[in-house]
């Protein structure tokens, strides 16, 4: 018998048979893992089997590669706190969808896990949430080996006047370094350099940039989750 205990963020909950639920979670030490919660369709368990809930998890199966049994004890029900707040619900949906799309099964990413928990704890802080989410997407790219380098111009080494990003390498390019190639480069939103106001248009520009690399590199051409698009539209409206 294989068993482990961990802490995790619930990402998706689907019916399994008549009374159970199939739960996908992002755990701190075991990565993305799935399991069957017996009685998960019951009136008692349904309220805390929701995306975004932080829970203590116990998983067990006869073999490591089997779909095991999962016991869930809620620690923080963010889903309940998000009810009535459309942006918070969109945020929970986008984070869960991106992790489901990006993370391989059973590959631990503890630093990303901690960062995700910190992001979700900011959900009630509407003035901070948009920029925090953009920075989380940058961190997601870096964690998965596709980090952006916005510190200096790839062509000249300059750290000032950075205006563009190479769509191929993810490195910043200055206006002087771009030259005749400027039209082939992506715009570098100032908010990603910690400059300017994080208003709706700025956040949308930043999400367009991170979205390019998420789709092209991390998802290898697969479309971004629809939940992420709904959040981007809401943040752009301010």
Residues 68 and 98 in one domain: no
Residue 24: inside a domain: yes
Is 126 in the same domain as 192?
Answer: yes
Q: Is residue 175 part of a domain?
A: no
Among 80, 103, 130, the domain-final residue is 80
For 150-177, how does the pLDDT look when each residue is reduced to its tens digit (9 = 90+)? 999 999 999 999 999 999 999 999 999 9
Of 6, 2, 3, 4, residue with least CA distance to 75: 6
Do residues 13 and 116 both lie within one domain?
no
Q: What domain count does the chain have?
A: 2
Examine the pLDDT at 238 and tell me if it is beyond 80.
no
Same-domain pairing of 126 and 228: yes
Indicate whether 166 belongs to any domain: no
Residues 56 and 114 in one domain: no
Do the domain assignments include residue 170? no
Residues 57 and 76 in one domain: yes
What confidence score (pLDDT) does residue 146 get?
95
Question: Do 17 and 76 belong together in one domain?
Answer: yes
Name the phi and psi angles at 227, rounded to 5: -60, -35
Average pLDDT rounded to a whole number, residues 127-138:
95
Q: Is 224 helix (H, G, I), strand (E, B) or coil?
A: coil
Q: Is residue 226 in some structural domain?
A: yes
Residue 137 lies in a domain: yes
Same domain, 211 and 123: yes
- Domain membership of residue 48 as a residue range: 2-80
Residue 230 vs residues 17, 94, 128, 207: alpha-carbon distances, Å: 31, 8, 18, 12
52, 80, 108 - which closes a domain = 80
Over residues 93-129, the pLDDT tens digits come to 999 999 999 999 999 999 999 999 999 999 989 889 9
pLDDT tens digits along 43-58: 899 889 999 999 999 9
Q: Are residues 124 and 229 in the same domain?
A: yes
Specify whether 17 is located in the same domain as 57: yes
pLDDT at 96: 97
Query: Looking at the domain assignment, is residue 105 inside a domain?
Result: yes
- Tens-digit pLDDT profile for residues 69-96: 999 999 999 887 787 889 999 999 999 9
Tell the burial category of 169 from Cβ atoms under 10 Å away from its Cβ (0-12, 13-18, 19+): exposed
Let me know whether 120 and 8 are in one domain: no
Q: What is the pLDDT of residue 130?
A: 94
Q: Is the pLDDT of residue 10 over 90?
A: yes
Q: What is the pTM of this model?
A: 0.94
């Amino acid at each position: 018998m294989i068993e482990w205990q961990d802490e995790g963020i619930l990402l998706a909950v689907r019916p399994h048979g008549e009374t159970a639920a199939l739960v996908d979670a992002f755990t701190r030490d075991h990565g993305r893992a799935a399991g069957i919660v017996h009685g998960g369709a019951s009136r008692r368990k349904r309220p805390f089997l929701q995306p975004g809930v932080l829970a203590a998890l116990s998983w067990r199966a006869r073999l490591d590669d089997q779909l095991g049994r999962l016991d869930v004890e809620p620690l923080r029900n963010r889903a309940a706190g998000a009810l009535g707040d459309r942006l918070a619900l969109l945020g929970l949906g986008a984070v869960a969808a991106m992790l489901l799309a990006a993370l391989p099964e059973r590959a631990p990413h503890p630093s990303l896990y901690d960062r995700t928990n910190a992001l979700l704890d900011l959900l009630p802080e509407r003035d901070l949430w948009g920029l925090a989410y953009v920075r989380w997407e940058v961190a997601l790219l870096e964690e998965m080996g596709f980090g952006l380098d916005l510190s200096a111009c790839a062509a000249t080494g300059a750290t000032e006047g950075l205006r563009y990003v190479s769509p191929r390498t993810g490195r910043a390019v200055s206006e002087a370094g771009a030259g005749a190639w400027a039209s082939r480069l992506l715009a570098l939103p100032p908010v990603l350099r910690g400059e300017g106001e994080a208003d709706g248009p700025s956040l949308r520009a930043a999400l367009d940039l991170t979205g390019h690399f998420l789709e092209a590199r991390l998802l290898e051409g697969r479309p971004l989750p629809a939940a992420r698009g709904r959040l981007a539209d809401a943040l752009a409206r301010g």
